[in-house]
Amino acid sequence: MRKSNQASSPPLQLAPDHVTQAQNALLQWYAREQRDLPWRATSDPYAILVSEVMLQQTQVDRVLPKYQQFLSAFPTLVDLAAAPTADVISVWVPLGYNRRAISLQSIARQVITEYGGRIPDTIDELLKLKGIGRYTAGAIACFAYRKHVATVDTNIRRVLHRIFLGLEYPEPKVNDSQMLSLAEQVLPEGQAYDWNQALMDLGATICTSNNPECLDCPLQASCQAYRDMSQYSLFPSGAVLRQLRKVAEKKTTYQAQPFTSTNRYFRGRIVDLLRSLPADERISLTMLGPKIKPEFSVDDVVWLQKIVDGLVRDGLLDYNEDGARLP
C-alpha cells in the first residue's frame, strides 16, 4: 500500500487475515450505518476545510447548525478572506475556541495570496498553510480530493488502537508517528474515503472513549481490545473498560483546576464582553478586570495583561494604550 512521506516508523507486524477481516467488517457496517452529515455531500475543499476546523474539539451536533450558518455568511474562500475579523468571530460564536475562526480566516488569506485561491491537494502543500496539522491536511486531501491517504484524529486513533493493538491502558502501545504508520498500513486500497469516515463514525457512535458499546460492535471478531476485556468479563463493555482504566491510573491525587478559574475561561469572558461594546469602543484593563472577575484587584493587573497579550497574539483582539477592542 502507498505511504506518505510523513510517517517514518517501521510497519507493525500485523496478521494479513486480521487486517482484511477488520476492513471488510467495518466497511460493510459503514455502508449500512453511516451518518448523514452535510460535509459528506460535497467535495468542495473550502466547505470541508470549514467542517474540519469546526470539528476540532467540538461535537458534531453542535457543529451542524453553525456549519450551515457559517457557509451562508461566507460562502467562498474569497468571502471569508475579505470579511472583517470581528464578523467572522461573531458568526463563529458560540462554538468556543474562537482562535479557530481567526486561524480559518488566516488560511483563506494565505491560500488566496500564495495558491491563487485554490486550496492545495497534497499533504506536503497543505502542511505549509499556517494552522493546518497532519490530521486536517490528510482529511482535506482524502475527503475533498479523494487522495489515497491515511489520517488520524482522536476517534481514529482510539479505534485503530483497540482493533489492532488492544486496550490503551495502562498506556498507549504506540506514539503518534507509529499510529500514523499503522493507519497507513491498514488503509484499504481504493477505499480511503469510506475507511477514514467509517473509523470516525465507529469511534463517535460505538467505540467511544468512556462507554463503548462492545456487544453491539461490528468488529467484535476483529478487535484485540474486546479479547483483552474478555479475560476479565464474559461481557466486555464500557463498565469493564472504565474499571480497568481506574486500576491503571491508580486514582491520581491531582485535583483538577475548576474551569471557571482557568485562563481559557477568562479569555472567553473578555471576548464576549468586547462583543457587547459599540463598534470601535475600547475598554481599559482597570475597567475590564472587574467586569470579568468580581474580585478583581490591583494585584490582578499583570495577570490580566498577560491574558490580553495572548488574545492579541492570537488575533482575537486589538489593544493599545486606550484599551482593548475587537479587531
Q: How far is it, in rounded angstroms, from Cα 15 to Cα 195?
A: 19
Residue tagged 458499546 (cell numbers): 213
Neighbouring CB atoms inside 10 A of 41's CB total: 9
What ranges in 209-316 are assigned the alpha helix state H?
Answer: 224-230, 238-249, 263-275, 285-292, 301-313
Nearest to 226 by CA among 237, 239, 242, 211: 237
Give the span between the Cα atoms of 10 and 30, in whole angstroms.
Answer: 29
Q: State the maximum Cα–Cα separation within the chain, in Å, rounded to a whole number.
A: 68
Q: Is 52 a catalytic residue?
A: yes
Distance of CA 76 to the CA centre of its chain: 22
The active-site residue, picked from 52, 168, 171, 295, is 52
Is the preceding omega at residue 94 within 30 degrees of 0, hence cis? yes
Of 313, 45, 6, residue with least CA distance to 152:
6
In this structure, the chain runs to a length of: 327
CA distance 153 to 200: 8
Beta bridge partners of 319: 324
Residues acting as catalytic residues: 52
